[in-house]
Structure 1
Amino acid sequence: MIPDVELALCLGILPALVVARLLYKTSALRILLKFLQSLEERCYLCQSYKVPQFDENSRENQLYRKVSTYLESLPSLDDSDFTDLVSGARPNDVVLHLSRSQVVRDKFMGARLSWTNERAEEGLEGRAFVLKIRGKDRKRILQPYLQHIFQVSDEIQEKRKEARLFVNLGRGGSAADGSRQWGSVPLSHPATMDTVLMDVDQKNKVKADLEQFLKSKQYYQRLGRVWRRSYLLHGAPGTGKSTFAVAMAKFLGFDVYDLNLSGVRNDSDLKALLIQTTSRSVIVVEDLDRFFSTASGTSASVSGVLDFMDGIVSCCREEQIMIFTMTSREGVDAAAIRPGRIDVQINFPLCDLAMVKALAGTYLGVKEHKLFPQVEEAIQAGPGMSPAHVGELLLANKGSPSRALKAVIGAVQQAQVEARGKGEGAKAGEKLTGSRSGRSTDELGDSGSLFCRESVHTVREFRKLYGLFKLGSRRRDDSMDLGSIDLKEALTDKNDGPK
């Protein structure tokens, strides 16, 4: 009997070991565990919460972004059967992202939770995260769990410091029709406050002003003002206005909204764009002077842009920076740059010797050179060059500092010749116009006369002929008078002769 029992046990254990090995080596065990978890969740009453990507006004839901960042950090996302691989902000950086219809589980304060990535409700754009919590745990952990998500996502974003660049898509929609008008990419521009070319004192003043702005929320609220600050960057093309705007955004860690006014259909479209922006962002509007000079009824109006700058709609977001660029302030309505609409104005000049030396140090790696005095002499006598132009010349001749600086001197001298030629042409035209107008006035004595120069000469010739005619007639009269006097005298002498 004992051998039979042992045989029976062996025959029973061996299949069990084969099944266990099969379950361990394959995904059958995982499938079984997931089935049991799903069955357990169905047996409990659960409460669901949906976090949409956009609200009914097509504004981005900041909670959705925070939840997405938090879920990407969960270890359970690595153990999922499938997930999305998304490129990160840095080169060769890959981030795990919750895929469509994927379920990821989490634990918090002894409670089990699950997240699902689903399509948003009908009428809303984008996706939505769905959170499921057991009914008995809902009141106990919901608020602490959300605070935990905020804290973790903020810490991750602080480590990443990934800013994004938004551009208006030009679809011509509005906030009411649910269309999203901003598209975004990672802000990968390399400019920083340290690399931007600017006077050191002025740069430090701007940095101090930005830092003070970040700390002034309660101060702005006490004043009853919107927590926003506006900057006007004005200067010739190529002086670094756009680059400095990006450097300001990266210094603050804010997103950038690059607004193209030519892609705005009307004032309502402009308001919708502003509503869809977020806090902690920089709104950049370039070439504002060109818009004011060419504004027409086919796009946003001047009054619409002025309302965009400081109207009621501009109060929809706080902790924002607005940056406007202009080539020149001449001819721009004073209402557009008055205090309140523009808080700080920064001028970006053309290159002087200090800027050329700084560019030479960056592009060529030289701090002193024998050609610097000639560069200074050429710059002082010339109309000036933009830092972008000088930088391109130095970059094209980076292999030879002497050749690069000679190229700068030659370009400045060429600009001098062109400017001198234009100036002499303008002076010659003014001199010719002035001389003609002076002769007409001197000859006619009345600048409003309609006589031409040929008419004046004709009148003069006529006057000369008339004078000669009168002189000839006067001489004839005189000769006749003399003859009559002689005749009278002869007759008198004859009559008075000897009797």
Structure 2
Amino acid sequence: MAPRDRLARLGSITASLMVAWAMFQRSFLHVLPNFILEYPQILPSFIYPYIEIRFNEFSTDHLVLRSEAYSAIDNYLSSINSFMHSKRLKANIFQNSLSLSLSMDDGEEIADQLEGVKIWWASGKIRISSAPISLSFRPGSEEKRYYKLTFHKRHRDLILGPYLNGVLKEGKAIKLRNRSRKLYTNAGPYWSLWCLRACGALHESFTFQTIAMNPKMKKEIIDDLITFSKAEDFYERVGRAWKRGYLLYGPPGTGKSTMIAAMANLLGYDIYDLELTAVKDNTELRNLLIQTSSKSIIVIEDIDCSLDLTGQRRKKNEKVEAEKDLISRRKLGKEEMDTRAASQVTLSGLLNFIDGIWSACGGERLIVFTTNYVENLDPALNRKGRMDVHVELSYVLQV
């Protein structure tokens, strides 16, 4: 092509571009600023195709309680390999924890991956200017810490589904492995309807190895407990609440309480020691039981003495009832009878929480009753299916 023809063609293209630009200015340029103002997020999404999710340390619903998601993420990040390459770490030990806890310092970033997809975690904090009057009960509330998760938007479904679910599940499992078992009670001067009081950590010397009993029976109990703790899929498949009942009976001093502690240490469960005589009525009992956590053992010791839950049901003959009441007062004394009279917990109310509709609230719970006199229990209380395992403990004879 001759130089003259090239120049002519270039001039034609230039003229066409000028006409197109003029048409664009006349038709679209005046609406472009309005479009940008109305949809400001569209342009950055093309330039920065990453999604960021922030997990705050404290949720807006609680002034003091740490966010469960933040705690689980903190535990998970402390366990991945890339965490050890961080140059700045924070060390702490929390109450009831068995080991030192390391976490990312503020401003650190580590990488993780799933199925070849790379994910970034960063820790940070926001400094809030202090108000003249603060309504927060959390010390140091002017600094709010958080974890930020960053990933490419094309992996949204993978990260928001399998990855985050796995992070939360593993983080909670790490928390359970690192904590000590706790013993809760609703009795004592600090008992509260809304908050079971943590009265201490469970001593780890109580194990099945230290219990003197028939080796065959011991193995059967251990196998049953371990099978129960791993049976989540089974209970979900058959549509039953994930719980199991144990009835421990035998003379005083045969190790019923020790066995409960050994069960807790074997499975890593907390113990809720429920004193029925301190419970006002069925409503209060329900409120207490629905606050118990999963992976726990709910214990009612000396069930035959806790309340009037034993023997035959209430009879219609008032004369017989009056005679029984008089005999009971002579045996127990006026003060204890007054305590019983103050409690309105009924046998049917207790049974409803064991295997009724309220038993479906939560999961992975053992319910343990102890008694010195199994023959005194109401048949509805100790029948098979309600108390799945009956364990008779007796004195160990030395030969």
| TM-score bin, normalised by smaller chain | 0.5 to 0.7
Equivalent residue of 1:207, what SS?
helix
Task: Answer whether contact 2:91 2:102 (CA < 8 A) is retained.
Answer: yes
CA deviations on 1:207-252 (whole Å, 9 max, x unpaired) are 2322333444444344432221100111222110011111122222
2:352 is paired with a residue whose SS is: helix
Q: Is the 8 A contact 1:161 1:253 kept in 2?
A: no
SS in 1 for 2:240: coil
Aligned to 2:38: none
Kindly indicate whether residue 217 of structure 2 is the aligned counterpart of residue 202 of structure 1. yes
Aligned equivalent of 2:73: 67
Q: Which of 148, 155, 162 matches 1:132?
A: 148
**Offset at residue 83 of structure 1 (A):** 5.5
Aligned to 2:249: 234
Query: 2:385 matched to 1:343?
Result: no
> Any conservation in 1 of the 2:277–2:343 contact (CA below 8 Å)?
yes
In structure 1, the partner of 2:342 is 298
Cα distance change on mapping 1:130 and 1:145 into 2, 3 Å: farther
By how many angstroms is 1:180 displaced?
A: 3.1
Secondary structure at 1:194's aligned position in 2? helix
Quick one: which of 185, 192, 195 aligns to 1:168?
185
Give secondary structure in 1 for the equivalent of 2:210.
Answer: coil
- For the pair 1:317 / 2:362, whether they are aligned, the reply is yes
Counterpart of 1:269 in structure 2 is: 284
Q: Deviations over 1:30-85 (max 9, x none)?
A: xxxxxxxxxxxxxx9954344768989x99976455334235554588725x6644
Amino acid at match of 1:298: A
Determine if contact 2:181/2:265 at 8 Å carries over to the other structure. no
Q: SS of the counterpart of 1:243?
A: helix
- Which string of whole-angstrom CA distances, capped at 9 and with x for unpartnered residues, describes residues 434-477 of structure 1? xxxxxxxxxxxxxxxxxxxxxxxxxxxxxxxxxxxxxxxxxxxx
1:48 aligns to 2:58 (yes or no): no
Give the Å deviation of 1:301. Answer: 0.6
Please tell me whether the aligned partners of residues 59 and 275 of structure 1 are also in contact (alpha carbons under 8 angstroms). no
Preserved CA contact (<8 Å) 1:104 1:116: no
CA distance in 2, matches of 1:117, 1:257: 39
Equivalent AA in structure 2 for residue 113 of structure 1: A
1:190 aligns to 2:198 (yes or no): no
> Which residue matches 1:114?
123
How far 1:199 sits from its partner (Å)?
Answer: 1.0
Q: Report the count of equivalent residues.
A: 298
Letter aligned with residue 259 of structure 2: F
1:146 matched to 2:164 = yes
CA 1:268–1:172 in structure 2 vs 1: closer, same or farther (change >3 Å)?
farther
Asked if the contact 1:233–1:346 (Cα under 8 Å) also holds between the matched residues in 2, the reply is yes
Q: Which amino acid aligns with 1:296?
A: R
Measured after TM superposition, the shift of residue 297 of structure 1 is 4.4
Change (3 A) 1:326 1:63: farther
* Distance in 1 of aligned mates of 2:205 and 2:382: 30
Residues 217 and 83 (structure 1), Cα distance of their counterparts in 2 relative to 1, 3 Å cut: closer
Q: Deviations over 1:125-152 (max 9, x none)?
A: 9999744345866937444552452465
For 1:152 and 1:61, the matched residues in 2 are separated by 16
CA spacing shift, 1:207–1:152, aligned 2, 3 Å: closer
- Helix, strand or coil: the match of 1:198? coil
Match of 1:466 in 2: none
Change in CA separation of 1:96 and 1:299 when aligned onto 2, cut-off 3 Å: farther
> Which deviates the most, 205-214 or 47-56?
47-56
Q: 8 Å contact 2:208–2:262 — kept in the other structure?
A: yes
CA deviation map 1:251-288 (0-9, x unaligned): 22333223233443433332222222222222222121
Against the structure 1 CA distance between its residues 341 and 112, is the aligned structure 2 distance closer, same or farther, given a 3 Å change threshold?
closer
> Secondary structure of the residue that 1:296 maps to in structure 2?
helix
Q: Is the 8 A contact 1:85 1:97 kept in 2?
A: no
Q: Given the alignment, which residue of 353, 359, 371 partners 1:308?
A: 353
Question: Which runs of structure 2 are paired with 1:2-81 in the superposition (5 Å)?
Answer: 47-50=53-56, 63=69, 65-73=71-79, 74-75=83-84, 79-80=88-89
CA distance in 2 between counterparts of 1:132 and 1:203 reads 49
The offset of 1:311, in angstroms, is: 2.4
Distance in 2, matches of 1:256 and 1:54, equals 30
Amino acid corresponding to residue 88 of structure 2 in structure 1? D
Paired with 2:353 and 2:145, the residues of 1 have a C-alpha distance of 33
Residues 215 and 45 of structure 1: is their aligned pair in 2 closer, same or farther, counting only changes over 3 Å?
closer
Aligned to 1:181: 196
Instruction: Tell me, in whole angstroms, the C-alpha distance in 1 between the residues paired with 2:371 and 2:192.
Output: 28
Task: Name whichever of 324-333 and 206-215 sits farther off.
Answer: 206-215
SS at match of 1:340: coil
Q: Which amino acid aligns with 1:146?
A: L
**Is the 1:117–1:129 Cα contact (8 Å) retained in structure 2?**
yes
List gaps (5 residues or longer) in structure 1. Answer: 1-43, 355-499
In the alignment, is the contact (CA less than 8 A) between 2:183 and 2:199 conserved in 1?
yes
2:181 partner letter: R
CA shift in 2, pair 1:156/1:198, >3 Å? same
- Is the 8 Å Cα contact of residues 60 and 276 (structure 1) preserved in structure 2? no
Distance 1:185 1:117 in 2: 35
Partner of 1:220: 235
Which structure: greater helix fraction? Answer: 1
Give 3-state SS (helix, strand or coil) of 2:184's partner: strand
Q: Distance in 2 between matches of 1:186 and 1:298?
A: 31
Measured against aligned partners, the alpha-carbon deviations of 1:157-206 in whole angstroms (never above 9, x if no partner) come to: 58x464421413556655xxxx4334264433311112211111211221
Alignment identity in percent? 29
Moved over 6 A (4+): 53-56, 58-61, 122-129
**1:154–1:167: structure 2 CA closer, same or farther, 3 Å change rule?**
closer
1:257 matches 2:272:
yes
Closer, same or farther in 2 for the Cα pair 1:65/1:182, shift >3 Å? Answer: farther
Aligned residue for 2:378? 333
Task: State the partner residue of 2:115.
Answer: none
Q: Which residue of 1 aligns with 2:94?
A: 86
Larger displacement relative to structure 2 (336-345 or 132-141): 132-141
Task: Using structure 2 for the length normalisation, give the TM-score.
Answer: 0.60
Q: Give the direction of change, closer, same or farther, for the CA distance of 1:308–1:146 in structure 2 (3 Å limit).
A: same
